[in-house]
Structure 1
């Protein structure tokens, strides 16, 4: 059966402008980081992606290494584009990134012009696209001149292979420098994608969020649920069948230690008082900041997607609720901060 988008798809979603740009994103965007790789069959993927678009989620976020295996998320999304989403291409914001290890040898990761532009061409090929809407430098490379990395982003935009340039997990100082360099090249830094949640506030502590607001850079938070910790599923300490069960995965033992889970239990009480799920409280909190354009969610099931979308019913937090969340999480922070090796993305 041919997919036809819901005519009412724009009736309930809210959209925000990305910084000082003309680009608007839905307040909830869908990422294909860990749940749309080689183990996901087409019907199951389309059930989620189609429902997302039917609910006004126009932004789908990818990267060259998303899967597993690496590249398979882009390949699957390329199939969705070819079979079902092609008539709606001009209604979609599709992003991809390059920065983490993708192929062997010295040119397969980090921030060189060689790697970034080769990776972009590969990503376009996997998705069957002539251009992506946003192309990101996935992480700051301390050993490559920032002028070279930003020059590659500028070239991608000026060549028409990307419409907008973005950076991900860049600390405050490098964010300012990237913005300055791109501006001198005649290209805007449209968006910054950092990790951010109630228990991961590094962008507040180092001033990155204030810098983006000052410079007119939009922000989209990845892992607003702290990789599922803020869903409450780890509150009992169980990890079986979750990312916490994988010792080589992106969720580490320090992320679910007792002090963190105690904070999550306190947050559950606040969510109940608001008539929200934990997931919805977490998204409301991320989106409370005027600098934040969108929250990037990752889901395995249609029910999880519907739970996330329930945040649209109550996006407002009172000053008292924000203060209560601060108190609940004071001793339960993950203390994350970008490092050269980056978060495992």
Structure 2
């Protein structure tokens, strides 16, 4: 059946300006990391993407090695883009990245000009796109001069293969220098994509000041701490098929008794606000205006819908923020 996007798709979404640019992103973006590889049913992928766009999610976040296997998320997205979303291309903000392991040999990893520009060409081919809206250096590479890495991003923009340049997982000092180089080259760095959640607050002391002082934005990934900040683990059991049961990125060792007590305390705060734990976690990350968007994964339409209503409960009270601080720093 031919897809026609919902007419009222923008009525329920909030958008924030990214850095000092003219582009605005939805406060909740869809990440195609774990749930768009070849192991996920294709019709589920289609349903999630359609529902996301129908609810105003215009930003789809990908990378060259998302899957598994590497490249499959971009390839699967490319099929769905061609079938469903090509008429809406100018309403979408599509991201790709390069920086981690992608292909064998010395040129398939890191921050070199050789790797970044070759990877972008491959990503565009897999997705069937003429350009991505933003292209990231996925990580700071200490073995490559930062001038070379940021220069490669600038080349991608000048060639029209990307509209904006960005960085991901960059520490404070490297964030500041990357922004400086980008400005010197006339291609500003839009944002830094970093992990940020109630359970992982490292960016507050390592990156957030740099974001504010350079006029860029933070775009947060793993706001649910790989699923820990959901109701899946509150019983202390590990559900079959959960991310922890697979044990690739989320290990069983993370579910200690102390961690369970924190999660249950946070869940009580969420319940007092009429939210799920996941909704509270998203609201908490978005409390900071320097955060332009949170990137969520969704393995089903139901899960997506539950997360998209996170902001409906309103701002978090000072008392609840204090309690969250007490729990997260315990």
Interval of TM-score (by shorter of Structure 1 and Structure 2): over 0.9
Q: TM-score, normalised by structure 1?
A: 0.93
Residue 70 of structure 1 corresponds to 70
Contact conserved, 1:287 with 1:315, CA < 8 A, in 2? no
Contact conserved, 1:230 with 1:279, CA < 8 A, in 2? yes
Task: Give the Cα–Cα distance (whole angstroms) in 1 for the partners of residues 191 and 61 of structure 2.
Answer: 13
Residue 138 of structure 2 corresponds to 138
Contact conserved, 2:274 with 2:313, CA < 8 A, in 1? no
Task: Give the Cα–Cα distance (whole angstroms) in 2 for the partners of residues 203 and 254 of structure 1.
Answer: 23
Residue 166 of structure 1 corresponds to 166
Residue 114 of structure 1 corresponds to 114
5+ residue gaps, structure 2: none
* Cα offsets for 1:162-183 (capped at 9, x unmatched): 0001111111111001111111
Residue 317 of structure 1 corresponds to 316
Change (3 A) 1:170 1:232: same
Residue 337 of structure 1 corresponds to none
Residue 211 of structure 2 corresponds to 212
Residues 179-198 of structure 1 aligned to structure 2 (within 5 Å): 179-198=179-198
Residues 2-17 of structure 1 aligned to structure 2 (within 5 Å): 2-17=2-17
Residues 25-64 of structure 1 aligned to structure 2 (within 5 Å): 25-64=25-64
Contact conserved, 1:288 with 1:315, CA < 8 A, in 2? no
5+ residue gaps, structure 1: 332-345
* Cα offsets for 1:126-147 (capped at 9, x unmatched): 0000100010011110111111
* SS in structure 1 at match of 2:316: coil
How many residues of Structure 1 are paired with residues of Structure 2 in the alignment? 329
Task: Give the Cα–Cα distance (whole angstroms) in 1 for the partners of residues 71 and 41 of structure 2.
Answer: 15
* Cα offsets for 1:266-324 (capped at 9, x unmatched): 00000000000111100000000010000100011111001101113124112221111
Q: TM-score, normalised by structure 2?
A: 0.97
For the pair 1:276 / 2:275, whether they are aligned, the reply is yes
Q: Residue 39 of structure 1: CA displacement?
A: 1.7
Q: Residue 261 of structure 1: CA displacement?
A: 2.0
